[in-house]
């Protein structure tokens, strides 16, 4: 046991007990002591080992601290190297990215310059190569700061042009091969229509999809840039145009002989002697060809650029056949029928709001030239008819045989033509239509039976004018029609006025005036259907003042060489022509002539009825220029009343001869009555003033106390006239009132202005 254990042991027991106890437990203690000694020895070893371990850990810790210090020092030393390495890697990546747009140059150059390069134009690799060229060119354009960017850009563009040229050559070579094969087979033997169609179209459809994709390589590079000016074409549009032209030339080479042959056979047919029949057959045939070509073009190309150039070239034989026929066609009805055929079947209505379908053939573009030729010839013929048969018409004695001509069906001035005033409307179904090759026949338009009868039995120039208007209506441009319609109405009005003058000389003024009134009312009622717009002003220059100015200077000695005269002319405007503006509207002119003839007619009858009344001087007083045989006013008043009673039946008989509408007749009778009453009122005022001046009680009768030998007052005379004239305007509905409003207003204005 160690000393410490022994020091801590309990005190020894005295006596024998203690010895015995000590002896009894000594063995156990001894064993325990040995165990303790062994444990102590073991612990001492552990302590020594732990101490050694601690020493070793201390050495290791010191070593680690040294390594850490060295590592941190090394890290500080290598930080700049790592940054340099990262920068080098980034530069390497940028160089590699840039080099991928420079590297293909030599490879693509060798490939395009190799023998047989054109054979690879249809391969997928060739398409990928074109895409690579596009990417390289775009890269050079967006990086102009690179040293060799402009040089490489130019070289890549040359390579792209070379590649697209190979595409063009491959495309055109394929088209020529197909064309040569088809042409040789057509020339080798006689083929029926089915075999022809198979050769001309089925053969071209084989491989069309591949050619379409090949041509698309050029087309998508032919689009102009985004910043291009209007009308500017893309850089490679010329190559695309060559594709279109090559294809069109090959198709025309195959089709034109067949088209010419077919049109020649059609022209030789008996039915084709008629212009319209030939045009219908020829245009229908050409339209079928154009539809087939339109579909074939869609299979070869994207878009329609160049298509209509091909179709127009295929239509040239049609133009060559139709143009001489149109130029030599003198029948207006055939020209109108041809224009109507083109408008209704082939030309799209301008008022149609539906958008144009780009996937369908617009055949109106191809027949527009035929339409223009026909309309030009139509206008030429219309002007010739206007000049020869209206302006220069020489009336026959039968034409001027009025009032005998009124025994035929009279005009219906109250009935309008059933045409709507809006262009493009459909005529009423209950109308009668005329269509004749005779250009002088009845109006070939939809009119009621009464109107047709009225027009047929009217003065020839009027019927021809209405016939001409109805034929060309809606067949030419509206502005051109308006201009020509004003000329026709103006010339017809002048022709009717000339005929009225001849009838007046031959028969009586009343017959001439009623003839003119009858025809002007008919003309006015019929031209409403044509919706004639106002004519633009006709501006001309009048140089007559300049010639007179030079004449005056010549009369003055040395006047031409006097500077003062020239200065005076310049400042006064003597050297400038006058601007003359003619703003003539045929409708206004027609209304003006109607007012004039109504004024003349009412004034003429009123003058006849009141010719017995004394004349008035400029101051409205009874004229002093009396003869010794002059009748007194009382007698002239009675004679006037007697004359009115005699002339009123004559007036009504004349009106019934020329006008069938009761309201028009009664309106004119009322206008004559108003004119007579106005003349009598003027006379009565002058007579009253004269009597008041000379006689205290003028002996003037009053209402209800008017003997026949006295002068009646105005009220009495007016009441008497109402009974004599007996104007009875028939009742009309509101629609009829509006329908006759223009005639009534013209008549009332005419009577009121006298």
Q: What is the pLDDT of residues 664-721, one digit of tens each?
A: 899 999 999 999 999 988 888 888 887 777 654 444 444 444 455 678 888 988 999 9
Kindly state the average pLDDT of the residues 533-544: 56
Q: Please list the alpha-helical segments (H only) found in 386-477.
A: 449-456, 460-472
**Do 572 and 636 fall into the same domain?**
no
In a domain, 219, yes or no: no
Q: When comparing pLDDT for 97 and 181, which is higher?
A: 181
pTM: 0.70
- Nearest CA to 670 among 754, 748, 607, 753? 748
Do residues 333 and 444 lie in contact, with contact meaning Cβ atoms separated by under 8 Å?
yes
- Place 661 in a pLDDT band, splitting at 50, 70 and 90: confident
Higher pLDDT, 425 or 596: 596
pLDDT, position 220: 85
Residue 46 lies in a domain: yes
Structure tokens at 49: 């080992």
The per-residue DSSP string of 310-355 comes to HHHHHHHHHHHHHHHHHHH---HHHHHHHHHHHHHHTS--TT--SP
529 touches 431 (CB < 8 A): no
Mean pLDDT of 118-125: 77
pLDDT range class, residue 414, cuts 50, 70, 90 = very low
CB 467 within 8 A of CB 439: yes
Q: Which residues contact 413 (CB under 8 A, 6 or more apart)?
A: 518, 521, 522, 525, 659, 660, 661, 664, 743
709 close to 636: Cβ distance less than 8 angstroms: no
> Do 496 and 410 sit in the same domain of this protein?
yes
- The domain boundary, picked from 95, 117, 139, lies at 95
Q: Where are the alpha helices (DSSP H) in 613-705?
A: 633-658, 662-694
Same domain, yes or no: 488 and 567: no
Return the structure tokens found at 294.
């339109």
* Interval 93-113 mean pLDDT: 83
Same domain, 626 and 741: yes
CB 614 within 8 A of CB 633: yes
Q: For 433-450, b where at least 16 C-beta lie within 10 A, e where not — what string?
A: ebeeeebeebbbbbbbee
Q: What is each CA distance from 407 to 124, 209, 401, 736, in whole angstroms?
A: 92, 78, 11, 27
Are 500 and 548 part of one and the same domain? no
- Over residues 393-406, the mean pLDDT reads 86
Kindly state the average pLDDT of the residues 272-285. 91
Q: 448, 418 in Cβ contact below 8 A?
A: yes
Do 650 and 744 fall into the same domain?
Answer: yes
Least confident of 78-82, 204-208, 232-236, 479-483: 232-236
User: What integer is the mean pLDDT of 267-273?
Assistant: 87
pLDDT over threshold 50, residue 753: no
Domain boundary among 74, 95, 116: 95
Is there a domain that residue 331 lies in? no
Q: Is 582 left (phi over 0), alpha (psi -120 to 50) or beta?
A: beta
Classify strands 578-582 and 538-542 as parallel, antiparallel or unpaired.
antiparallel
Give, to the nearest 10 degrees, the angle between helix 104-112 and helix 149-188.
30
What Å distances lie between residue 13 and 2, 9, 21, 738, CA to CA? 21, 12, 9, 164
Residues 427 and 557 in one domain: no
What confidence score (pLDDT) does residue 670 get? 92
User: Which pLDDT band, with edges at 50, 70 and 90, does 563 fall under?
Assistant: low
Per-residue pLDDT at 551:
55
Q: Report if residue 146 sits inside a domain.
A: no
Dump pLDDT digits (tens) for 217-253: 888 888 777 666 776 777 888 889 999 999 999 999 9
Residues 742 and 637 in one domain: yes
Is the alpha carbon torsion for 442, 446, 450, 455 positive or negative? negative
Say how far apart CA 751 and CA 730 lie, in whole Å: 20
In the 8-state DSSP scheme, what is residue 200? I
- Residue 349's pLDDT is 65
Residue closest to 528 by CA, chosen among 443, 594, 586: 586
Q: 400 and 533 in one domain?
A: yes
The pLDDT value given to residue 418: 31
> Could you tell me if 411 and 456 lie in one domain?
yes
Sign of CA dihedral 502, 505, 510, 513: positive
Please give the backbone phi and psi of residue 99, each rounded to the nearest 5 degrees, phi first.
-65, -25
713 within some domain: yes
- Look at residue 39 and tell me if it is in a domain: yes
User: How far apart are the C-alpha atoms of 290 and 94, rounded to whole Å?
Assistant: 57
Q: Write down the mean pLDDT value for the chain.
A: 78
Q: Are residues 404 and 515 in the same domain?
A: yes
- DSSP assignment of 144-168, as one string? TTSTTHHHHHHHHHHHHHHHHHHHH
Instruction: Specify whether 434 is located in the same domain as 471.
Output: yes
User: Average of pLDDT values for 640-654?
Assistant: 90
* 19-25 own/partner pairs: CB under 8 Å, 24+ apart: none
* Structure confidence at residue 737 as a pLDDT band (50, 70, 90): very low
Beta bridge partners of 705: 702
Range of the domain at 559: 539-582
Cis peptide before 226 (omega within 30 of 0): no
Identify the top-confidence range among 120-134, 288-302, 432-446, 723-737: 288-302
Using pLDDT thresholds of 50, 70 and 90, give the confidence band for residue 318.
Answer: very high
With residue 579 as reference, give the H or E element that holds it.
strand 578-582
Identify the pLDDT of residue 322: 93
Domain ends where: 46, 76, 95? 95
Instruction: Please check whether residue 604 lies inside any domain of the structure.
Output: no
Whether residue 381 is contained in a domain is answered as no
The label of the residue with tokens 């004039």 reads 596
> 263: pLDDT confidence band, cut at 50, 70 and 90?
very high
Residues 6+ apart with CB under 8 A from 234: 221, 222, 223, 224, 225, 228
Domain count, the chain: 4
């Amino acid at each position: 046991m160690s000393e410490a254990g022994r020091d801590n042991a309990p005190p020894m027991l005295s006596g024998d007990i203690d010895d015995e106890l000590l002896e009894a437990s000594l063995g156990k203690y001894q064993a325990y002591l040995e165990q303790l000694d062994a444990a102590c020895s073991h612990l001492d070893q552990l302590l020594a080992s732990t101490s050694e371990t601690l020493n070793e850990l201390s050495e290791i810790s010191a070593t680690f601290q040294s390594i850490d210090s060295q590592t941190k020092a090394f890290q500080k030393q290598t930080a700049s190297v790592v940054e340099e390495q990262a920068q080098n890697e980034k530069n390497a990546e940028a160089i590699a990215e840039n080099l991928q747009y420079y590297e293909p140059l030599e490879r693509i150059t060798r490939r395009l310059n190799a023998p047989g390069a054109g054979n690879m134009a249809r391969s997928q690799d060739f398409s990928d190569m074109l895409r690579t060229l596009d990417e390289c060119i775009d890269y050079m354009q967006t990086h102009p700061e690179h040293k060799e960017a402009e040089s490489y850009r130019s070289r890549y563009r040359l390579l792209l042009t070379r590649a697209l040229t190979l595409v063009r050559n491959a495309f055109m070579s394929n088209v020529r091969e197909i064309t040569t094969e088809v042409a040789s087979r057509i020339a080798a033997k006689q083929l029926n229509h089915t075999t022809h169609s198979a050769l001309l179209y089925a053969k071209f459809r084989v491989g069309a999809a591949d050619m379409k994709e090949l041509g698309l390589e050029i087309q998508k590079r032919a689009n102009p840039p985004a910043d291009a000016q209007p009308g500017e074409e893309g850089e490679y549009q010329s190559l695309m145009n060559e594709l279109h032209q090559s294809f069109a030339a090959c198709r025309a080479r195959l089709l034109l002989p067949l088209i010419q042959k077919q049109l020649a056979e059609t022209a030789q047919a008996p039915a084709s002697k008629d212009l319209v029949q030939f045009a219908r057959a020829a245009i229908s045939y050409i339209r079928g060809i154009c539809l087939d070509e339109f579909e074939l073009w869609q299979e070869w190309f994207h878009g329609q650029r160049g298509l209509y150039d091909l179709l127009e070239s295929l239509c040239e034989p049609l133009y060559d056949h139709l143009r001489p026929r149109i130029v030599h066609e003198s029948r207006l009805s055939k020209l109108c029928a041809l224009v109507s055929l083109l408008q209704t079947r082939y030309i799209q209505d301008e008022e149609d709001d539906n958008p144009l379908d780009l996937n369908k053939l617009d055949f109106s573009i191809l027949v527009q030239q035929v339409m223009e030729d026909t309309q030009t010839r139509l206008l030429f013929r219309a002007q010739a008819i206007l000049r020869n048969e209206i302006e220069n018409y020489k009336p026959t004695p039968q034409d001027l045989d009025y009032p005998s001509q009124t025994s035929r069906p009279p005009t219906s001035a109250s009935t309008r033509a059933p045409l709507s005033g809006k262009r493009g409307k459909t005529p009423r179904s209950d109308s009668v239509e005329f269509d004749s090759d005779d250009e002088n026949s009845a109006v070939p338009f939809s009119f009621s039976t009464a109107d047709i009868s009225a027009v047929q039995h009217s003065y020839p120039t009027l019927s021809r004018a209405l016939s001409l208007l109805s034929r060309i209506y809606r067949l030419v441009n509206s502005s051109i029609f308006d201009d020509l319609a004003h000329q026709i109405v103006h010339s017809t009005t002048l022709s009717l006025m000339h005929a009225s003058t001849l009838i007046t000389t031959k028969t009586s003024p009343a017959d001439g005036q009623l003839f003119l009134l009858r025809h002007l009312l008919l003309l006015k009622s019929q031209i409403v259907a044509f919706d004639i717009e106002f004519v633009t002003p006709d501006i001309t220059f009048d140089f007559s003042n300049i010639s007179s100015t030079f004449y005056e200077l010549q009369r003055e000695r040395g006047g031409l060489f006097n500077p003062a005269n020239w200065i005076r002319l310049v400042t006064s405007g003597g050297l400038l022509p006058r601007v003359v503006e003619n703003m003539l509207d045929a409708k206004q002119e027609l209304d003006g002539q109607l007012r004039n003839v109504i004024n003349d007619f009412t004034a003429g009858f009123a003058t006849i009825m009141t010719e017995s009344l004394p004349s008035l001087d400029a101051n409205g007083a009874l004229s002093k220029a009396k003869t010794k045989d002059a009748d007194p006013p009382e007698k002239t008043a009675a004679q006037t009343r007697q004359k009115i009673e005699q002339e009123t039946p004559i007036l009504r008989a004349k009106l019934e001869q020329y006008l069938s509408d009761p309201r028009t007749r009664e309106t004119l009778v009322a206008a004559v009555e108003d004119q007579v009453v106005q003349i009598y009122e003027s006379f009565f005022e002058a007579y009253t003033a004269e009597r008041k001046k000379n006689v205290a009680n003028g002996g003037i009768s009053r209402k209800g106390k008017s003997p026949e030998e006295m002068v009646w007052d105005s009220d009495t005379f007016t009441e008497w006239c109402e009974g004599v004239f007996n104007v009875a305007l028939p009742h009309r509905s509101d629609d009829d009132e509006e329908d006759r409003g223009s005639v009534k207003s013209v008549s009332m204005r005419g009577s009121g202005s006298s």
